[in-house]
Amino acid sequence: MNQETITLLLLSALSVGFIHTLLGPDHYIPFIVLAKTRGWSITKTVIITTLCGIGHVLSAVLLGVVAISIGITLNKLNFIESFRGEVAAWLLIGFGFAYLLWGIRTAIKNKKHIHFHAHADGTAHAHNHGDSAGHTHFYPKKSMKELTPWILFIIFVLGPCEPLIPLIMYPAIQDSVLNVFLVTLVFGLATLFVMLSMVLASVYGAKKLVHAPIFERYGNAMAGTIICGCGLAIKFLGI
């Protein structure tokens, strides 16, 4: 493979990776809303976003290499990627809907209510519980917090990365492992750059703009609605 060809492939990988990620809201919206509602630190947000992005790219590379090694044509490979896309879209819809229901349950259980307390000296007083009061009787289950990043990772691993496969097929057929690596690296870096840029810019903006009590209470339900809507857009609008 001559230098002009590999240069063209690398430039294509850079531009396609950038555009593919930017035009795919499923690459960053879930991380934005979950980082806000779950209170993730910037470090945790970056780590989870990066790992999901790497899994997204490497799963496509693995599929492409396996397909080439066993002689699967590009048309059949596109069919497999399309099927993976269907599965990933439905998983995103299901996860978003489940998160919506969990968010509604959280909001209801954390609703303000009045408690009356009587003391031994005969006096009594009443005060509110819930929301930002002194103490509340609802504690989010740790299992939900722990499962959320793993669910996102699985969805991204199963999610299709169609533009990358044709780019790596040519150097793979030429038995150029180095060029497959370079194309994958450039595409992956472009993907991660856009994902992290969109996520961090939005998270920083949300920290300054969104402090309404209604968001604090219904934030999880809103996040579930947005994630579910993102999955529906991918499934039915082809975004």
User: 4: Cβ–Cβ under 8 A, 6 or more apart, which residues?
Assistant: none
User: 186: Cβ–Cβ under 8 A, 6 or more apart, which residues?
Assistant: 10, 13, 14, 17
Note the pLDDT of residue 83.
76
CA dist 23 and 19 (Å) reads 6
CA dist 94 and 199 (Å) reads 22
Note the pLDDT of residue 47.
95
Q: Distances from the Cα of 13 to the Cαs of 160, 161, 169, in angstroms?
A: 16, 12, 12
Specify the amino acid at residue 236. Answer: F
Positions in the chain whose pLDDT score sits under 70: 1, 71-81, 110-146, 206-217, 238-239
Model confidence pLDDT, tens digit, residues 208-237: 655 556 566 677 788 888 888 888 887 777
Note the pLDDT of residue 55.
92
Note the pLDDT of residue 49.
95
Note the pLDDT of residue 9.
92
Domain residue ranges in the chain:
3-109+140-237
Entry pTM = 0.71
Note the pLDDT of residue 75.
64
Note the pLDDT of residue 138.
40
